[in-house]
Amino acid sequence: MTMTYEQAIAALIETGRRLDNRGWAPATSGNYSARLDDGSIALTVSGRHKGRLTRDGIMRVDLEGQPLTAGKPSAETDLHLAIYRLFPEVGAVLHGHSPEAVGLSRAAAEADAWILRGHEMLKAYPGHTTHAVEVRLPIVENSQDMAVIEAAVRPALLAPGAIPAYLIRSHGLYAWGKDVDEAERVLEATEWMIAAERAERGFRQAWTR
């Protein structure tokens, strides 16, 4: 499902406001993109505050990352493009920097995934119809070299039963979907399950004192 550049600009600006209101876009963190009807990608300009985007904070690049309009593309453009190249049905990719997701990635210091099981919220992932499943949220090490992150996470993204999200340690969460709404739903559901499990741990500790 693709959109015009004008539709993408409006959708990504609105998404940035909503994610910032949730505390998932502090400072200039995060980046957002959408696949356009001509096959190019609308993407946030690097270094902008994503909760206060204006139309010049969105630009177009081709699938190789070459700018098609003015602006410096996000430093994480290659991670977005890798998702679009791997999954032709994907129409939008969102990346946030929530304290909960980053905190989880640091607490699960050596883990290469966080297991989510039993949550009714799992049904927010496309194609999931029951809580009675177990899925892996992949966790990869951070790097300033996007090719290193992409190579590290690719096998997990292609694994059977993979969910459309992954976590970069000490950095943030990536989520995607057929359009901006679906990508935001996946991001929000993943954040919600991380927060619910953190609350669960707090309650368990309180009860064992």
Ligand X SMILES: CSCCC(=O)C(=O)COP(=O)(O)O
Binding residues vs ligand X (CB under 6 A):
27-31, 44, 46-47, 74-76, 95
Contact characters 125-164, Zn ion, x per CB under 5 A: ----------------------------------------
Instruction: Specify binding-site residues for Zn(2+).
Output: 95, 97
* Minimum CB–partner distance for residue 149 and Zn ion (Å): 10
Q: Please choose which of ligand X, Zn ion, none residue 2 contacts, taking the beta carbon within 5 to 8 angstroms, the exact cut-off set by kind.
A: none
Sign of the dihedral through C-alpha 18, 54, 91, 173? negative
Binding mask 176-205 for Zn ion (x = CB under 5 A): ------------------------------
Cβ distance to ligand X smaller for residue 53 or 135: 53
From the CB of 49, what's the least distance to Zn ion, in Å?
Answer: 13
Three-class DSSP labels, 96-140 = ECCHHHHHHHHHCCCCCEEEEECCHHHHHCCCCCCCCCEEEEEEE
Residue 102 · residue 172 · CB < 8 Å? yes
Nearest partner of 142 among 176, 173, 100, judged by Cα: 173
Backbone φ and ψ for 145, nearest 5 degrees, come out as -100, 105
Looking at beta carbons only, is 43 or 90 nearer to ligand X? 43
Q: In angstroms, what is the minimal distance from the CB of 191 to Zn ion?
A: 15
CB nearer to ligand X: give 30 or 91: 30
We find the least distance from the C-beta atom of residue 26 to ligand X, in angstroms, to be: 8
Nearer to ligand X by Cβ, of 98 and 135: the residue is 98
Count the neighbouring beta carbons within 10 Å of the beta carbon of residue 67.
Answer: 15
Half-sphere exposure (Cβ direction) of 162: Cα atoms closer than 13 Å: 19
Q: Are 30 and 98 spatial neighbours (Cβ–Cβ below 8 Å)?
A: no
